[in-house]
Amino acid sequence: MASSISKLVVFITGTFISNNCWDEWMIYFESEGYKCIAPAWPYKEATAQELRNGPADGAISLNTITSLTDHFATLINALPKKPILIGHSLGGLIVQLLLQRGAGIAGVAIHSFPPQGVNRFWLSFLKVTWETMMLFTSGKKTYMISFRKWKYAIANAMTYEQQKQSYYSYAIPESKKIIRDTFKCKTKIDFKNPHPPLLLTSGSNDKVVPASMNYDNYKRYKHSSSITDYKEFEGHTHLIFALSSWNKEADFILYWLHGIRN
């Protein structure tokens, strides 16, 4: 299996972030011989600025975790061969769900949003997700993360100018249903089942998904014959794309992929 692993990569974006976040990663991976695609989520094909200026009751609000996972499964099934799946945040959770369906040959979950069963009772995690769920508001309208929340949770440990630039470049509105769905059984993983090789990464300064939560996610996998690996990156925050050290995670992922190929 290892020597024949695909060099086709599908990058899967997380919540509140435009898929242009993968631009540098795609160039980097393609320089190493990989073919890459980073499809936008449904109804998110426009630029970050255009999406921010769109109506709050736009089609983005229709997205659910099930429809999103089905969307990527359909897209992947149409490819000429099974790809490597690399997802960030909620995109990492989607990678875990897709691998459970057998949709990828290997997967990388970068600072992955936890599936059901992983301990979520971490103050910083609850502080971020409680507001974004907007439980007492209509699910027919999207939620746009504020710059204040972006600075605190997504782009912490950066300069103000870096925070402002990253918000302008990446921040987009999100479906409230998506976040609400992640607290339901729709994100259940059968951790005892065999699965393709999976790497989970975390950042020590991540306020959205703390490293300890990522580690708990990793430790849940029980199938002894399946490859499951974990790596924590010192100083990394949730928004890995805006860090000058983003290539440290990219390099380790490439190293890991090379390892499972040989």
Q: What is the DSSP string of 157-190?
A: TS-HHHHHHHHHHHB--EEHHHHHHTTSGGGB--
Q: Has residue 141 got a pLDDT over 90?
A: no
- C-alpha distances (whole Å) from 223 to each of 117, 219, 238 are 16, 11, 28
Report pLDDT for 2.
Answer: 40
Q: Has residue 34 got a pLDDT over 50?
A: yes
Q: Has residue 16 got a pLDDT over 50?
A: yes
Structure tokens at 255: 């190293």
Residues 234, 43: Cα–Cα separation, whole Å:
35
Residues whose CB falls within 8 Å of the CB of residue 50, separated by 6 or more in sequence, listed in order? none
Span 148-172, mean pLDDT?
94
Percent with pLDDT over 70 in the chain? 90
Residues 19, 5: Cα–Cα separation, whole Å:
25
Higher pLDDT, 109 or 181: 109
pLDDT tens digit string along 192-220? 999 999 999 999 999 999 999 999 999 99
Instruction: Assign 182 a pLDDT band (cuts: 50, 70, 90).
Output: confident
